[in-house]
Amino acid sequence: MLARLALVLLLLPLAPLPALADGFVAGTEDVPLMPGLRPVAGSALSFDKPQGRIVEAQASGKLARAAVQRFYAATLPQLGWKPAGADVWRREGETLRLDFHGPDGALTVGFTLSPR
DSSP state letter for 16:
P
Predicted confidence band of residue 103 (pLDDT cuts 50, 70, 90): very high
Residues in the chain, total: 116
Q: Which tens digits make up the pLDDT trace of 74-87?
A: 999 999 999 999 99
Note the pLDDT of residue 50. Answer: 85
CA contacts within 13 A on the Cβ side of 51: 8
Q: Are 45 and 57 in contact (CB under 8 A)?
A: yes
Which residue range is the domain that position 52 belongs to? 2-115
What is the average pLDDT score of the chain? 86
Distance CA 29, CA 104 (A): 27
Q: Which tens digits make up the pLDDT trace of 3-23?
A: 454 444 444 443 333 445 569
Q: Which tens digits make up the pLDDT trace of 28-53?
A: 988 999 999 999 999 999 988 888 89
**E strand map for the chain:** 38-39, 45-49, 52-61, 82-83, 88-91, 94-101, 107-115
The total domain count for the chain is 1
Note the pLDDT of residue 7. Answer: 41
- Continuous H helices in 1-116: 2-11, 65-75
Closest CA to 35 of 25, 24, 21: 21
